[in-house]
Amino acid sequence: MTIGVVGMGYVGLTLTAALARKGFTVHGADVAPSVVEALSNGRPHIYEPGVEETFAAHCGKSIFVDTRLPSDTVDVAVICVSTPVNEETHQPDLRNLASAAAGVAEWCGPDTLVVVRSTVPVGTSRAVVLPVLLAAWGRARLVMAPERTIQGQALRELVELPQVVGGLDDESLRAGLDFFGGLAAQLVPVSSLEAAELVKLSNNCHTDLIYAFGNEIALIAEGHGLDPLEVIRAANLDYPRPDLAKPGYVGGGCLSKDPYIMIDSSPDREPFLVGRARELNEHLPVHVAERLVDLIAEQRGSAAGARLAVLGWAYKGWPPTDDMRGTPITSMMPVFRAAGITVLGHDPMVAPEVIRRFGGEPVSLDKAFSEADAVLVVNDHPDYRAIGIDSMLGADGPKLVYDSWRILDERAVTAAGVRYAGLGYRSKAVAA
């Protein structure tokens, strides 16, 4: 088969690479000339293990990228465009999807299988994409097949994860299963386009809920002077019910928006849980920033003029990524600026110019410790897990370490005369 992929963001990029590795010929399309130019020269604009090597090997041979799909060429057209939500109203913006559907209607024909892979409110494939195809062709073959991979593991998971496929009708479903049978090891047919749409939202919103409960425990524990990790470890140990999640920031391109798409999908009332879980997870970085300002003020008498080193600017550290979508630092920075704190920044994956764009001053890891009054560990990148804390903390180093992921050696930190804190963990001040 010859495949067209419309939208070369993270979802389209990784799908293109995975299909090429399986022997498909893939034509990618994107509206951004800079993206087209980079990918046409084998230079992916998004980091994901294995993608750069795949493009280097297949670009110009079985991978081709342009601003549109070639006319009447592809057997399958997969729509992978972004479906953002408005930052203020949180309403889904489906203009990219509608535009992509119009492009497919122009470039392809009724025998082309059209696949919606973007995350959408339930009913969108039928209400937004299908009418455009029917208006152009009179008939259409349409399936919804959600992407469910995790960053850092996408090329493996595109093959190993069960692929859910919902079709407009039996013919569409058979064609969708035939196509994805050439990629995924296991297929999960569902009864409709809408069922497939809800599967994706259910997966991501469930994850948001799980993490929110861990964060709820952390905030309650903090109010009582307890260690949330002690509570969670004790609750989980050999207990036969589902494990509690550790507290942590919840960001990324999916979890920061898909709950709002789920809310938009509820026809009769707003869901009871989804919105509150998202509200809690969005509150956590602000809470940490405010708590950190208070701790710095306790150490120095005032937070104004302090220098804070932030380790980890991408939204997560493992698997490593350079993705800044939904990063905790976005909501933390206004709190730090209001307190008069200068923020130094380090991340093994994030370019210095990106750190500057978000308001930080890029520094090396050693200077993050030697030139700051306090250090905040935001993500758990392996480089941070490997820090030899004894060699980093000296007489002129920070007097406070806030270790969000509790990956540093607390005893070594406090032995150096440095106060140690973490999510929901109110450590005692170290005696001078």
Count Cα atoms within 13 angstroms, Cβ side, for 364: 4
pLDDT in tens, 39-89: 999 999 999 999 999 999 999 999 999 999 999 999 999 999 999 999 999
Residues in the chain, pLDDT under 50: none
Report pLDDT for 397: 85
Report pLDDT for 429: 65
Q: Which domains does the chain have, with CATH numbers?
A: 2-191 (3.40.50.720), 192-432 (3.40.50.720)
Report pLDDT for 229: 97
Of the chain, the end-to-end C-alpha distance in Å amounts to 70
Q: How far is the CA of 276 from the CAs of 178, 205, 260, 279, in angstroms?
A: 40, 11, 11, 5
pLDDT in tens, 233-253: 999 999 999 999 999 999 999
- In this structure, the number of other CB atoms found within 10 A of the CB of residue 35 comes to 21
Axis-axis angle for helices 274-300, 329-338 (nearest 10):
40
Helix (H) or strand (E) holding 173: helix 170-180
Do the strands 63-66 and 25-29 form a parallel or antiparallel pair, or are they unpaired?
Answer: parallel
Q: How far is the CA of 132 from the CAs of 62, 79, 99, 210, in angstroms?
A: 29, 13, 10, 38
